[in-house]
Amino acid sequence: MAIPVVDSHIHLFPASHLSTLTWYKPGGPLGSQHSVDEYRRASSTMSMRDDAPDSKYLRGFVFLETDRLSSVTDNQSDGPGWQHALDEVSFLTRIALGEPITGEGHDAAHKDLCLAIIPWAPLPGGPEALLPYMARVKERTKEEPIWRKIRGVRYLVQDKPPGVMLQHSFIEGLRWLGRQGLTFDLGVDARQGGLHQLREAVEMMRQLGDQSPVKIIINHMCKPNLHLAPSEVSSHPEFVEWRDLMLRMANASPNTYMKLSGAFSELPLSEANGLLAIEDLVAHMKPWTDVLFDAFGCERVMFGSDWPVCNLGGGGNEVSWNRWIQVVEGILDKRGLTPAQQAGVWGGVAVKAYDINL
């Protein structure tokens, strides 16, 4: 029987919304529309039918917010407010309902691919900001079945000043999410942002306590420094500390999960541009992925493509999604996971972590 694949981490944005993205630059590598049509072209090597002869089929995806221009308060005099983030929710609502605006790049045929929506939320504002914001998110989803697809939130901390995660309001905001049955996607960057971000995340988890109800779903292996040469990785101080921090995150709570995603954009340019053979990529990543499985166990590691960011270093939209599928296949095979354990990584863990109703 074919294994259902749940892509736990993708981004979508229509051309009409490009100017609302914090990172958008005309002519940039992602500076064009990336909606469901483009995603399906990237993932077209995998069937959407569970009766297909292939070993796996694409059951659907989890959408992650795309870092819109926004501010913690909705006071327009203090910043962009919530409008762009809420417009993103409306865009995903149209995708999930199969009711596109002309030119948005999706249609009713693919609406069931949208399994879960993880919007931006003003987490540093604590419950006082989250309560009214999430009420407005609910208004934007229009129908109860779409509202139920809102399974958590993300507030990127990888580009924020040190100390944000340790603010009292931030911690209380996480507790509030847990009480509402919502998850928090944690985005930190060990390579470009520094390991101090991971140390701060560990302290945040310590303050929450191991009985905290909020599920923390960690993005992209915390973006480790894959620039390190394989010959020096195991003894390099940066790898040694990253490994220790992964163990501490995993042990902080049984409600912490890890996404096996985001590697292509972290590779050295020489390897990304040279498009290493799949087996070489698997070998390059093995020290890092071994740590993840040792720390979290296969029961808390989930597949994610990080599309379309995976196109950076992955060979472009025509090949990158399928190449990452092959890399993950190699990682799971080298790890010696059973068929049931592999099925969990491909989809079962994401369904459990996000409480997705298939």
pLDDT score recorded for residue 75 = 81
pLDDT score recorded for residue 210 = 86
Q: What is the CATH number of domain 3-354?
A: 3.20.20.140
pLDDT score recorded for residue 9 = 98
Q: Residue type for 245, please?
A: L
pLDDT score recorded for residue 271 = 55
Strand order across the 256-260 sheet: 152-154, 183-186, 216-218, 256-260, 301-303
User: Residue 332 corresponds to which tokens in the numbers above?
Assistant: 């799971």
Q: In this structure, what are the phi and psi dihedrals at residue 353, rounded to the nearest 5 degrees?
A: -60, -45
Q: C-alpha distances in angstroms, 33 versus 15, 38, 76, 103, 182?
A: 4, 8, 27, 10, 29
Q: Is 201 helix (H, G, I), strand (E, B) or coil?
A: helix
User: Residue 5 corresponds to which tokens in the numbers above?
Assistant: 């694949």
Residue written as token pair 């992964």: 246
pLDDT score recorded for residue 270 = 53
What is the distance between the alpha carbons of residues 154 and 53, in angstroms, rounded to a whole number? 36
For residue 338, the 8-state DSSP code is -
- From first to last of the 358 residues of the chain, give the pLDDT tens digit: 799 999 999 999 999 999 999 999 999 999 999 999 999 999 999 998 877 777 999 999 999 999 999 999 998 777 899 999 999 999 999 999 999 999 999 999 999 999 999 999 999 999 999 999 999 999 999 999 999 999 999 999 999 999 999 999 999 999 999 999 999 999 999 999 999 999 999 999 999 998 889 999 999 999 999 999 888 999 999 999 999 999 999 999 999 999 999 999 998 755 555 678 899 999 999 999 999 999 999 999 999 999 999 999 898 999 999 999 999 999 999 999 999 999 999 999 999 999 999 8
3-state helix, strand, coil in the chain (%, to 5): 50, 15, 40
pLDDT score recorded for residue 231 = 86
H-run or E-run covering 257: strand 256-260
Which residues fall within 8 angstroms of residue 313, CB to CB, at 6 or more apart? Answer: 264, 265, 266, 267, 269, 272, 273, 320
